[in-house]
Chains A and B, each alone.
Chain A
Amino acid sequence: MRYIEPHAHMVSRTTDDYEAMVTAGCAAVCEPAFWAGFDRSSVDGFHDYFCQLTDYEPKRAARFGLPHYSWLCINPKESEDMGLAREVISIIPEFLKCPTVLGIGEIGLNKNTRNELTILQEHVDLAAKHDQLILVHTPHLEDKFKGTRLILDLLKSDSRIQPNRVIIDHVEEHTVSMVLDAGFWAGITLYPESKATPARAIDMVEQAGMRNIWLNCACDWGRSEPLAVPRTALEMRRRGYSAVAIDHLVYGNPLRFLSQNPRFQIA
């Protein structure tokens, strides 16, 4: 089996996780910029983080023959401080030249505040100006439904944005249809406690259709499972899906979305 892990925070994971993912069939991994679990105190902290994402982490993955790509932004958990957020956004263009950067992400909302919306809009402006793909984080738990609606309203009102070049991640049963119906791609995140389990993810795919959905593990420094995508492929086998159908969802779909950026090349 082969699969692409389109959303994983590998800077928080061990080298053993890289080895396990490649052993399970991972053909490429993509890493959106993320909250570190604590607030960084200055733009310099983000500069170092972006260097880590664009230089050090691809080398670490390459030791296992695994192509590593990244997305850049200031995560919505830190965008309440608009002064810092604007400083960070100002240094992103120099990193967009890096050969493994795929776009702007994971931007979005956390607690659905006015400041978060302002910084989301400024990230969207940046993506539009530089013709970048966009990866959107939707809020957690009780904030997801409201946040997803706010994000869709913002994106749909922007004529520069092509929905097929935007993936809206962490959808669940109450948000997946509104994302797909608006023409955007949808990401289903597989977590042990929140977001979706393998069984629920396949339920959503069966009801919404497989066409513009990808699966991801979004593994980070919290409780998460780097092999969640191949485990979901196993769950599909238990339901009787063919190898071709599984390949379509866990490899073909992320390949189709990510290949909109010609930098995304896997053998």
Chain B
Amino acid sequence: MTRQQVLDLYFMDARCKLIELAAFLDRVERAEGEGDFRHKALLKALEVLSSREPSRARDVLMTLSDPTSEPLAAAPGKGACGAWPGPPQS
């Protein structure tokens, strides 16, 4: 596809998701109380979007990923939350 065709096909969808993300961040800011590491992780991932490299999807995923390589001694639970909280607290 040409760049023009990509814009014609996906611009409105991307615009919608961008505004949803902006509204979510506003909602978090308006809310009271403490948040958690996920808010900071999302803000850090957003920095990737201003990059000019055509690997933003991969780079966003990497900023949200556990970068370590050692297996855990025990599972902290079964689920995943979408952002790495940092090393387990001993």
A140 and B75 contact, CB distance less than 8 A: no
A113–B71 CA distance with the chains assembled, in angstroms: 5
Q: A80-B74, A114-B71, A150-B69 are in contact. Are A141 and B9 (CB under 8 A)?
A: no
When distances are taken between beta carbons in the complex, the residues of chain B under 8 Å from A240 are 1, 5
Q: A110-B78, A111-B78, A114-B71 are in contact. Are A142 and B62 (CB under 8 A)?
A: no
Q: A114-B72, A142-B84 are in contact. Are A174 and B61 (CB under 8 A)?
A: yes
B1 and A239 contact, CB distance less than 8 A: yes
Query: Which residue of A77, A174, A194, A203 has the most chain B CB atoms within 10 A of its CB atom?
Result: A174
When distances are taken between beta carbons in the complex, the residues of chain A under 8 Å from B65 are 142-146, 174
Closest residue of chain B to A142 (Cβ to Cβ) is B84
Contacting residue for B62 out of A77, A114, A145, A150, CB 8 A: A145
The answer to whether A31 has its CB under 8 Å from any CB of chain B is no
Q: A145-B62, A145-B66, A238-B9 are in contact. Are A140 and B72 (CB under 8 A)?
A: no
Interface residues of A in 79-133 (CB under 8 A from B): 80, 110-117
Closest residue of chain B to A140 (Cβ to Cβ) is B80
B72 and A113 contact, CB distance less than 8 A: yes
Residue-wise, chain B 52-83 has the 8 Å CB interface mask toward A (1 for contact) of: 00010110011011111101111111111111
A146 and B67 contact, CB distance less than 8 A: yes
B1 and A145 contact, CB distance less than 8 A: no
User: What's the interface size class on B, roughly?
Assistant: 20 to 34
Contacting residue for A173 out of B61, B81, B84, CB 8 A: B61
Q: Provide a sorted-by-A list of 24 A–B residue pairs whose CB atoms are within 8 angstroms.
A: A77-B78, A112-B71, A113-B75, A114-B72, A114-B73, A117-B71, A141-B64, A141-B80, A141-B81, A141-B83, A142-B66, A142-B82, A145-B65, A145-B67, A146-B68, A173-B61, A174-B58, A194-B82, A199-B10, A199-B13, A203-B57, A239-B1, A239-B9, A240-B1
Q: A112-B66, A142-B81, A174-B62 are in contact. List 15 more A-B contacts (CB 8 A).
A: A111-B72, A111-B75, A113-B71, A113-B72, A114-B71, A114-B72, A115-B75, A142-B65, A142-B80, A145-B61, A146-B65, A146-B69, A173-B55, A173-B58, A240-B1
| B interface, CB within 8 angstroms of A | 1, 5, 9-10, 13, 55, 57-58, 61-62, 64-69, 71-84
| A interface, CB within 8 angstroms of B | 77, 80, 110-117, 139-146, 149-150, 172-174, 194, 199-200, 203, 238-240
